C-alpha cells in the first residue's frame, strides 16, 4: 500500500474526475474514496481517463453509516464497485462506528431536523458482514475508520479477520500516538486523514487556528525548500503513517507528491510532534456539542 494517496473528500463531482486523472498520470498510485462522499462515479471516470492499469492502483473505499445493517453491506460494496468501474477493492473500511437509519438518504433526519440513527446495530456486527466480502473476492482487505481502542478490541475478540487499517484524523495538533501504538501492536496500520488540518472543512470559523500557518513549519520548510503542507505530509511518512491529502488543483497535487526527496532530522520531527494538543478538527458540532455525541457507539468519549 503506497504511503501517499489522493484524498477525495469534499472534492466536487465537476472537479474530482480531472483531479484523479492528473494525480494518476503524475504518479500517484493510491486513491482514497468513500460511498458517503457522493462522487465515486466521477472518481471512476478519472481512473478510466488516466490510462493507468487498474492493477497498478491501490483503491480504498468505505462503507457509509446508512449501510451498517449486515444485510446491506454487500449491496453497498457492489454499488461502490459499479460506481468506480472496477471489479474489486484493495481495501474497504467501515467509515464510522455509528449506524444511521437505513435508506437512500445519506443523512436521514427526524422531524426536528436531527440525524436519525439506528441504535440497534453494533459495529462489530457490521464488521462480521464485512468479512464475507473478502471471502466473496469483492475486496482484498478490510479495515476501520474512526474506531477507538475499545471498539477495535471487540472486533479482534469476535471477528476472524484482523483489520489491516484504522483511518483516523491525524496531524500535529492530534498526533494519535496512543492510538497508533495500540493499533501497531496489533498489526493494524494507521492512515491519516485531514493531515493538513482540513482548512476547507465546512464548519471552519474565521478565528480558528490554521495548522498551515504555524511559524515553525514555515521555518523548517525554508530549510528544505518545501511548503508547510509538504513538511506535514513528510512528517507522517517518516512516522510510517499512510497519508491522504486532498486537492483538486493540479499544481497542489504535484506539490503534495514531491515529498520523497528529503528527510527531516529527529529534532525537527520531535518539534512538530510537540504541537499535539488533542486538537480534533473533524467533529461536526450542533449547539456547542458533538453532533453524534449521544450515539452509543460515538468513538471519541474515551482517550483513544
Residue 140: exposure state from Cβ atoms within 10 A (0-12, 13-18, ≥19): middle
Place of cell 445493517: 69
Where residue 225 falls (left for φ over 0; alpha for ψ -120 to 50; beta otherwise) is: left
- Alpha helices (runs of H) in 7-136, residue ranges in sequence order: 13-26, 40-50, 70-84, 123-136
E strands, the chain, in order:
6-7, 30-32, 58-63, 89-94, 139-145, 165-169, 189-193, 242-243, 285-286, 289-290
CB 133 within 8 A of CB 139: yes
Helix (H) / strand (E) containing 233: helix 228-238
DSSP assignments along 176-208, one per residue: -HHHHHHHHHTT-EEEEESTT--TT-TT--TTS
- Which amino acids are annotated catalytic? 37
Q: Is 49 helix (H, G, I), strand (E, B) or coil?
A: helix
Residue 71: exposure state from Cβ atoms within 10 A (0-12, 13-18, ≥19): exposed
| Cβ atoms within 10 Å of 268's Cβ, excluding its own | 20
Amino acid at each position: 500500500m503506497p504511503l501517499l494517496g489522493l484524498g477525495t473528500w469534499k472534492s466536487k463531482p465537476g472537479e474530482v474526475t480531472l483531479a484523479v486523472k492528473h494525480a494518476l498520470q503524475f504518479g500517484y498510485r493510491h486513491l482514497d474514496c468513500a460511498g458517503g462522499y457522493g462522487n465515486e462515479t466521477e472518481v471512476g471516470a478519472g481512473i478510466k481517463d488516466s490510462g493507468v492499469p487498474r492493477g497498478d492502483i491501490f483503491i480504498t473505499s468505505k462503507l457509509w453509516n446508512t449501510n451498517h445493517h449486515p444485510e446491506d453491506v454487500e449491496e453497498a460494496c457492489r454499488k461502490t464497485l459499479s460506481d468506480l468501474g472496477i471489479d474489486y477493492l484493495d481495501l474497504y473500511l467501515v467509515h464510522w462506528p455509528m449506524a444511521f437509519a437505513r435508506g437512500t438518504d445519506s443523512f436521514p433526519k427526524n422531524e426536528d431536523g436531527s440525524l436519525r440513527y439506528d441504535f440497534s446495530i453494533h459495529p462489530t456486527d457490521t464488521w462480521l458482514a464485512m468479512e464475507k466480502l473478502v471471502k466473496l473476492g469483492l475486496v482484498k482487505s478490510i479495515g476501520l475508520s474512526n474506531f477507538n481502542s475499545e471498539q477495535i478490541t471487540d472486533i479482534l475478540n469476535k471477528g476472524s479477520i484482523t483489520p489491516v487499517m484504522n483511518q483516523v484524523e491525524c496531524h500535529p495538533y492530534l498526533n494519535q500516538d496512543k492510538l497508533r501504538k495500540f493499533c501497531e501492536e496489533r498489526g493494524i496500520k494507521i492512515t491519516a486523514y485531514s493531515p493538513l488540518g482540513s482548512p476547507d472543512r465546512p464548519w471552519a470559523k474565521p478565528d480558528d487556528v490554521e495548522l498551515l500557518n504555524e511559524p515553525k513549519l514555515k521555518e523548517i520548510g525554508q530549510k528544505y525548500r518545501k511548503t508547510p503542507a509538504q513538511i506535514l505530509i513528510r512528517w507522517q511518512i517518516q512516522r510510517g503513517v499512510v497519508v491522504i491529502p486532498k486537492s483538486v488543483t493540479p499544481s497542489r497535487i504535484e506539490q503534495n507528491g514531491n515529498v520523497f526527496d528529503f528527510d527531516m532530522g529527529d529534532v525537527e520531527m520531535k518539534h512538530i510532534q510537540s504541537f499535539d494538543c488533542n486538537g480534533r478538527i473533524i467533529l461536526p458540532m450542533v449547539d456547542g456539542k458533538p453532533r453524534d455525541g449521544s450515539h452509543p457507539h460515538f468513538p471519541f468519549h474515551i482517550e483513544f
